[in-house]
Structure 1
Amino acid sequence: MIENSFAISATFIAYLIVMLSIGIYAYKRTSNSEDYFLGGRSLGPWPAALSAGASDMSGWLLLGLPGYAYAAGIESFWLAGGLLVGTWLNWLLCAKRLRTYSIVVNNALTIPEFFAQRFEDKSKLLQTISALFILLFFLFYTSSGLVAGGKLFETVFGLNYTTAVIVGTICVVSYTLFGGFLAVSWTDLVQGLLMSAALVIVPIAAFEGSFGDLNIALHAKNPELLSLWNDAKGQPLSAVAIISLIAWGLGYFGQPHILARFKATRSNKDITTARRIAVSWTALSMAGALLIGMVGIVYVDAHMGGSIKDGETIFMLLVNAIFHPVVAGILLAAILAAIMSTADSQLLVSSSALAEDFYKQVLRPNASPKEVVQVGRLAVVGLSIIALMLAMNPESSVLGLVSYAWAGFGAAFGPAILLSLFWKDMNRNGALAGVVIGGVTVVLWKQLEGGIFDLYEIVPGFILASAAIILVSKFTGGASESILKTHLEYQRQLDSMD
């Protein structure tokens, strides 16, 4: 338990009041399913960029990534570099195109609905299976955020882990339930700024010397921590290890909660500005997270006996050791911000999959927009309970849970999204094959280990899904005339919106 928790508690409560106030205000502006799931496509460049970044990074940015840097040193730069390049390419290749195409195909709100409309799938099979994969992988992704919340409340307030996870879940569900996409996006703007500020302030305060001094200190502790090509034990990094770390960047093309921000941006012209903001924010935030981990190595060695029980708590321990309780409360609220900014987005996308892609398409095709919103809100509660059950293991790793869900989305949806935006001859059968093979490959590959199976599962999943889309589309006759006509209209609209 962190000392002076009363002052920190007061700061947390004030923070939650502000977030709930935003949620209540957004509730008054939410009248239909487009408002609830995409905010009426009204996001400007700043909320679009920081909402995408904050919902992307999650609690792993302040727990998992610093914890990895604390354990591995410079090796963690491979992971951060892959993520930064992936962020840039996702905004560059997908943002304008997906926003435009989703409007052209009958204003599709969700990724499964976009696939169904893009490929004229009357059977609803593609939409249903895509929604199933969203529900499967988001349960793991959301549970990672709840695990991070459990570690936060357990460390700060000395709560029992189970109680801590429940408290964190209630915090997230409360404003997501009422405000929907606008609440999520506006709170993400605040949370993104708070996260980046904390990631800059903490490493500077923890290590007052220059980067050169940090280099000397790390070299004295363990010179292998400064090697890009060896692990912390001095063993050379294999090609499989390096490719696996860089390949995290592939995941961006298939993350529904990030892709939703592209569709919700108010204009294509805003996306160029949003891309610059998003890439800059990501670079700054990840640099801060890596520095926290490496500064933490030196700080723990000098002030905490040389080791800590859980490396993923290094940010919290540094904040408590260095700052006044009020300031510490604000900085620790950044972790809550990171957790909430992603978990809320994941719950919202999952609820949209249930409400839009199951309830409306399969069970109640004539459901009113208001009814769909109510089902979506009920789904938020139900899904959060299931994710809560998955998060009850205190030994769970935040980074481990995120890596599985990240790979699942990246392989199941990434190739399908990219090829649907760029390849006119892709058809429904190809899309279905890509989603199924990408998702199943990740699930099966994860169960194997040793040799080539140590490769991060997103790599084989992405490759096999891409091959399946191309081969199946070609062998099943390619796109129909009506699909080709829609694709031409999309290209015309894309040119006119730039």
Structure 2
Amino acid sequence: MSSGTQFSHQLRRYYGWYTGSFAAFIMLLAIGEYLGMSQAAIGHIFLFATIAIYAGIGVMSRTSDVSEYYVAGRRVPAVFNGMATAADWMSAASFIGLAGTLYFAGFEGLAFVTGWTGGFVLVALLLAPYLRKFGQYTIPDFLGERYQGNFARMVGLAAAVLASFVYLVAQIYGVGLVTSRFVSVEFEIGLFIGLAGILVCSFLGGMRAVTWTQVAQYVILIIAYLVPVVILSYKVTGIPLPQAVYGTVLGQISEREDELMNEASEIEVRRQYRYRADEFGRKIAELPVSLDAERAALIERLNALRLEDGSAREIALTERALRDLPRTAEEARARWEKQRAHALERARPPPRHATAHPGDTPEEVARSRNNFIALVFVLMVGTAALPHILMRYYTTPGVVEARRSVFWALFFIFLLYVTAPAYAVFAKWEVYSNLVGSSLTELPAWVASWGKVGLVKIEDLNGDGILQLAELTINTDVIVLATPEIAGLPYVVAGLVAAGGLAAALSTADGLLLTISNALSHDFYYKVVNPRASTHRRLVISKSQLLVVAVVAAWVASLRPDNILFMVGLAFSIAAAAFFPALVLGIFWKRANRPGAVCGMLAGLGITLYYVVSTHSFFGGSMENAWLGIAPIAAGAFGVPLGFLVIIVISLLTPPPPQEIQDLVDFVRYPQLPGGEGH
């Protein structure tokens, strides 16, 4: 038996014992809950036990060998690299955000499923085996070698850091979300609890520690994702196979949607939101007079309450309203525009779950279809260009294993993605049938729990004391985490889901942190600043960069910049526009040269960032500036074609690369050439 086969058998045995032990751990906690263990204790045990597992693997995998630290010694078997890639890939966006997006967007949310899975086909066909044949450590490494020097390397480095940092912030935000809810601590404290877990996994052992931790995290996250929806499927349909039976429940949801859309109370609430939007429109049109009038009215009301000995609560609320009032007309315009847009959104009936490309007019339908296609495109090419995913294919023993690990990664990802639509349907059925129409005095406890974190909001707009669908606001990030509570399942299931969400966020955060720190230490410090640096110094630099980046990302995440799925989508657009044209043409077209690649990467990245800033409200932009109605999350749809065009045109207008670079392309492309698999 070869050493590689023996190593693979050992891994199977170790992780088999680990999976069985984790299942027994869940059963023990379930028995503990039955015997009276508190929910707080269950939440704490899940959180700290799983972090302790990851930390233990990280400590045991510590290394000071450069090859082990950067690429896990290039000896990770295909199956386990597939599991690690799946865990690295299935971030908080996939675990926490995907089912929530499908819950709200219905058919339109399938763009994420289609794009993300389709992207791995591009990885297998266009990139993974060729990058493994090239060898080395990072994506900027390939760009520097293929496009002759540090200019292309530095552009690639900047793009890799930017895309990975945006993605990392989303993961740490997800960590804070999970820990703050299930350990009952402040959101910011939850961030840094999770940050400690991230650092212990990656700080000591680099890619070696991250790889074996990610395999362990995949086991937890897939169990956590499947268990509640299987139980919920059995509860609703009597069949514990949600992927096969959710279509029946979807038909019932369509009938319930018909009822809700025609209820007088629902129509009245949507009309009230329309009135509110019109009022905000009036105030915006009359600025700055309307702002002065509102401030004067609040001052007058506050004085009257004080003179008439009004209640302390009314006085406090009025003081708060006065304090929160915008200070300038510009600030008022920005805030009221956002509130007007929210009111207009609530005034419209939600899209029907099974309707493809919804819209009231042909223009809206066309815009919806354009966004669907653009998002699928961006997610596919973004998947094939994400540095932290492509780095995983440097860790396999050879080119054949790199191809096989793409297959295994797609299989392990499929297990979650084929379940996400069922998750959304069963969660929506529970909300539509058991929550909507309830008395506001008898709402389930989970509404208050998630309301404290600011992710569930209820407003009795028509004052009837009954919850209408239009009066309920649920953040997309809540659906998966709250489904066990929504369905009335044992709290141990909710704790399990939290542990799975934490595993998903931590596994991706580990990979992203390592990508950023390795790029800064290897591609910037070692390749550009100090090529004579010793092995020890390179690892010290990498670890220090890892620590700094982690703290900065946690600080940005504490500002709660946007929902998880948008931040992840933005990272895909950045990676797609910056890397995909340069990587694909660098492998398949010998004529691509340094001026073309550098200009193409800068042009693609520049137009993508410009489009996001000009169209997304977080940056002060507006969808009025959108081209073809494309949402900012799919900005890379403009950057990728521009990148290809610029690289091709400028490469043809400038001298071809030298013969040694064209030989490198042949070496990477054709496995039958002599010279081994490394470079």
Normalised to the residue count of structure 2, the TM-score between the two structures is 0.68
Cα distance change of structure 1 residues 109 and 285 upon mapping to structure 2, 3 Å threshold? same
Unaligned runs of 5+ in 1: none
The equivalent residue for 1:468 is 646
C-alpha contact (below 8 Å) 1:92/1:275 kept by paired residues: no
Q: Report how far residue 254 of structure 1 moved.
A: 1.3
Q: Report how far residue 361 of structure 1 moved.
A: 2.2
Cα distance change of structure 1 residues 231 and 95 upon mapping to structure 2, 3 Å threshold? farther
Q: Report how far residue 479 of structure 1 moved.
A: 2.0
Normalised to the residue count of structure 1, the TM-score between the two structures is 0.92
Range 137-146 or range 336-345, more displaced? 137-146
- Counterparts of 1:331 and 1:190 in 2: how far apart (Å)? 15
Q: Does 1:118 align with 2:248?
A: no
The equivalent residue for 1:378 is 544
Q: Report how far residue 448 of structure 1 moved.
A: 2.4
- Counterparts of 1:175 and 1:54 in 2: how far apart (Å)? 14
Q: Report how far residue 245 of structure 1 moved.
A: 2.4
Counterpart selection for 1:339 from 505, 515, 518: 505
- Counterparts of 2:414 and 2:519 in 1: how far apart (Å)? 31
The equivalent residue for 1:59 is 92
C-alpha contact (below 8 Å) 1:319/1:332 kept by paired residues: no
Range 400-409 or range 31-40, more displaced? 31-40
Counterpart selection for 1:411 from 566, 574, 577: 577
The equivalent residue for 2:662 is 484
Q: Report how far residue 193 of structure 1 moved.
A: 2.7
The equivalent residue for 1:46 is 79
Range 208-217 or range 232-241, more displaced? 232-241
- Counterparts of 1:324 and 1:150 in 2: how far apart (Å)? 23
Cα distance change of structure 1 residues 337 and 495 upon mapping to structure 2, 3 Å threshold? farther
Q: Does 1:9 align with 2:44?
A: yes
Q: Does 1:33 align with 2:66?
A: yes
Q: What amino acid maps onto 1:226 in structure 2?
A: A
Q: Report how far residue 228 of structure 1 moved.
A: 2.2
C-alpha contact (below 8 Å) 1:253/1:418 kept by paired residues: no
Q: What amino acid maps onto 2:358 in structure 1?
A: N
Q: What amino acid maps onto 2:503 in structure 1?
A: A
Q: Report how far residue 343 of structure 1 moved.
A: 0.6
Q: What amino acid maps onto 2:73 in structure 1?
A: G
Identity in percent: 22
The equivalent residue for 2:603 is 437
- Counterparts of 1:84 and 1:368 in 2: how far apart (Å)? 41
The equivalent residue for 1:423 is 589
Range 314-323 or range 160-169, more displaced? 314-323
- Counterparts of 1:116 and 1:231 in 2: how far apart (Å)? 47
Q: Report how far residue 381 of structure 1 moved.
A: 0.7
The DSSP-based 3-state class of the residue aligned with 1:228 is: coil
Counterpart selection for 2:627 from 449, 452, 464: 452
Q: What amino acid maps onto 1:312 in structure 2?
A: D
The equivalent residue for 1:226 is 354
Counterpart selection for 1:267 from 398, 419, 432: 398
Unaligned runs of 5+ in 2: 1-37, 238-244, 259-351, 437-468, 616-623
C-alpha contact (below 8 Å) 1:35/1:182 kept by paired residues: yes
Cα distance change of structure 1 residues 267 and 318 upon mapping to structure 2, 3 Å threshold? same
Cα distance change of structure 1 residues 395 and 271 upon mapping to structure 2, 3 Å threshold? closer
Q: What amino acid maps onto 1:184 in structure 2?
A: V
Aligned-pair Cα RMSD in Å? 2.2
- Counterparts of 1:144 and 1:218 in 2: how far apart (Å)? 31
Q: Report how far residue 134 of structure 1 moved.
A: 1.8
Range 52-61 or range 267-276, more displaced? 267-276
The equivalent residue for 2:450 is none
| 1:59-91 Cα deviation digits (max 9, x unpaired) | 011221111111111221122112211122212
- Counterparts of 2:183 and 2:432 in 1: how far apart (Å)? 25
C-alpha contact (below 8 Å) 1:230/1:237 kept by paired residues: no
Q: Report how far residue 127 of structure 1 moved.
A: 1.2
- Counterparts of 1:465 and 1:396 in 2: how far apart (Å)? 28
C-alpha contact (below 8 Å) 1:58/1:145 kept by paired residues: yes
Cα distance change of structure 1 residues 379 and 453 upon mapping to structure 2, 3 Å threshold? farther
- Counterparts of 2:157 and 2:403 in 1: how far apart (Å)? 30
| 1:86-136 Cα deviation digits (max 9, x unpaired) | 1222123211111102x3xxxx21111211112222xx1211222122222
Range 54-63 or range 338-347, more displaced? 54-63
- Counterparts of 2:360 and 2:572 in 1: how far apart (Å)? 25
Q: Number of residues paired by the alignment?
A: 487
| 1:262-283 Cα deviation digits (max 9, x unpaired) | 1211122223332222222222
- Counterparts of 1:90 and 1:425 in 2: how far apart (Å)? 22
The equivalent residue for 2:220 is 194
Range 239-248 or range 363-372, more displaced? 239-248
Q: Report how far residue 492 of structure 1 moved.
A: 4.1
C-alpha contact (below 8 Å) 2:104/2:476 kept by paired residues: yes
| 1:278-315 Cα deviation digits (max 9, x unpaired) | 22222221122232122211112233446453231111
The equivalent residue for 1:21 is 56
Counterpart selection for 2:385 from 254, 271, 276: 254
The DSSP-based 3-state class of the residue aligned with 2:102 is: helix
- Counterparts of 2:254 and 2:628 in 1: how far apart (Å)? 33
Cα distance change of structure 1 residues 370 and 303 upon mapping to structure 2, 3 Å threshold? farther
The equivalent residue for 1:91 is 124
| 1:383-436 Cα deviation digits (max 9, x unpaired) | 011111211123621011111111101110111111111112211222212221
Q: Does 1:398 align with 2:564?
A: yes
C-alpha contact (below 8 Å) 1:411/1:461 kept by paired residues: yes
Cα distance change of structure 1 residues 488 and 272 upon mapping to structure 2, 3 Å threshold? closer
| 1:437-460 Cα deviation digits (max 9, x unpaired) | 121121111122334164221111
Computing the radius of gyration from Cα coordinates, the structure with the larger value is: 2
Cα distance change of structure 1 residues 138 and 275 upon mapping to structure 2, 3 Å threshold? closer
Q: How does 1:145-294 map to 2 (within 5 A)?
A: 145-208=171-234, 209=237, 210-222=245-257, 224-230=352-358, 236=365, 238=367, 239-247=369-377, 248-294=379-425
Q: Does 1:315 align with 2:480?
A: yes
Q: Report how far residue 232 of structure 1 moved.
A: 11
- Counterparts of 2:218 and 2:665 in 1: how far apart (Å)? 36
Counterpart selection for 2:114 from 81, 103, 110: 81
The DSSP-based 3-state class of the residue aligned with 1:186 is: helix
